[in-house]
């Protein structure tokens, strides 16, 4: 039976990356997506912006919405301090299965918890299920029409504190207009756009970094 693109991406990691070396996993995926098949990872150009924000925030608790194959999960986790943890939500069980193997190849299982299911269900359970108080950093990279409702849900569930950082992928391409309008006009956020390019292409895209003001 025909393999899927995430399966071929995983095989490229297992073939070309060194076990336990997260940076080689990131490099193997970027090479696969440049040379073989495009895939919707944040990519190396926007990935450098992600790295700089993670390093600046130095988060202890991270939430990622949209694991896909685990590229940004590995990228973020490789920069976290020792006791820090990332919870990453993935709706599609097939993608979650691939992501767990990519994360294992990188040797980052201890820092990452992949949770399967819809954000609408899991966000309200974060405190009771995972002992989370608030998130220091949230990386939004899931369905673009869910960025705004899930941000409001995070606010309503008390999962953001003064200074929590939201970092959103694809605010230009494919675009998240309602989310962008909200974080740029709400008095509860201080927002900043980092101009870049859509992964592995010359099209414009960028990340929006928004600080929750409480
Ligand atoms: O559509 C894009 N991304 C959608 C990404 C969607 C991914 O997020 C998961 N998810 C859904 N809900 C949840 C949660 F968290 F709620 F549980 C997690 C989906 O199963 C999928 O793996 C995209 C598209 C392009 N592009 O160029 O078309 C470029 C990109 O960088 C993109 O991210
Ligand atoms: Mg994306």
For the chain, 214 residues long, give each residue's pLDDT as a single digit of tens: 789 999 999 999 999 999 999 999 999 999 999 999 999 999 999 999 999 999 999 999 999 999 999 999 999 999 999 899 999 999 999 999 999 999 999 999 999 999 999 999 999 999 999 999 999 999 999 999 999 999 999 999 999 999 999 999 999 999 999 999 999 999 999 999 999 999 999 999 999 999 999 9
Ligand 2 midpoint to CA 110 (Å)? 24
Residues 59-75 have pLDDT tens digits of 999 999 999 999 999 99
What residues are labeled active site?
141, 144, 169-170, 199
Residue with the smallest CA separation from ligand 1 atom 30 is 40
Residue with the smallest CA separation from ligand 1 atom 15 is 65
State the number of CA atoms in the 13 A half-sphere of 35 facing the CB.
9
Nearest ligand atom owner, CA of 145 = 1
Q: Is the CB of 91 inside a 6 Å radius of any atom of ligand 1?
A: yes
The pTM is what? 0.98
* CA gap 137, 155 in Å, rounded: 13
Residue with the smallest CA separation from ligand 1 atom 25 is 40
Nearest ligand atom owner, CA of 151 = 1
| Whether the predicted interface score ipTM is above 0.85 | yes
Reply yes or no: is the peptide bond before residue 174 cis, omega within 30 of 0: yes
Phi, psi for 189 (deg, rounded to 5): -135, 150
* CA gap 34, 200 in Å, rounded: 6
* CA gap 209, 190 in Å, rounded: 8
Closest residue by Cα to residue 147 from 121, 170, 115, 114: 170
């Amino acid at each position: 039976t025909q393999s899927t693109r995430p399966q071929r991406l995983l095989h490229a990691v297992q073939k070309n990356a060194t076990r336990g070396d997260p940076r080689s996993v990131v490099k193997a995926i970027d090479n696969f997506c440049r040379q073989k098949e495009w895939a919707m990872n944040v990519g190396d150009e926007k990935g450098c912006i992600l790295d700089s924000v993670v390093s600046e925030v130095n988060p202890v608790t991270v939430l990622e919405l949209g694991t896909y194959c685990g590229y940004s999960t590995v990228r973020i986790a490789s920069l976290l301090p020792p006791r820090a943890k990332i919870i990453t939500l993935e709706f599609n069980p097939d993608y979650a299965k691939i992501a767990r193997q990519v994360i294992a190849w990188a040797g980052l299982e201890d820092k990452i918890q992949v949770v399967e299911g819809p954000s609408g269900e899991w966000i309200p359970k974060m405190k009771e299920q995972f002992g989370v108080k608030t998130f220091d950093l949230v990386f939004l990279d899931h369905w673009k029409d869910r960025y705004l409702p899930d941000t409001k849900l995070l606010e309503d569930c008390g999962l953001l504190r003064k200074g929590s950082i939201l970092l959103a992928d694809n605010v230009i391409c494919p675009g998240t207009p309602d989310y962008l309008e909200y974080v740029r006009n709400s008095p509860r956020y201080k927002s900043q756009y980092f101009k870049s390019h859509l992964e592995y292409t010359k099209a414009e895209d960028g990340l929006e970094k928004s600080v929750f003001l409480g």
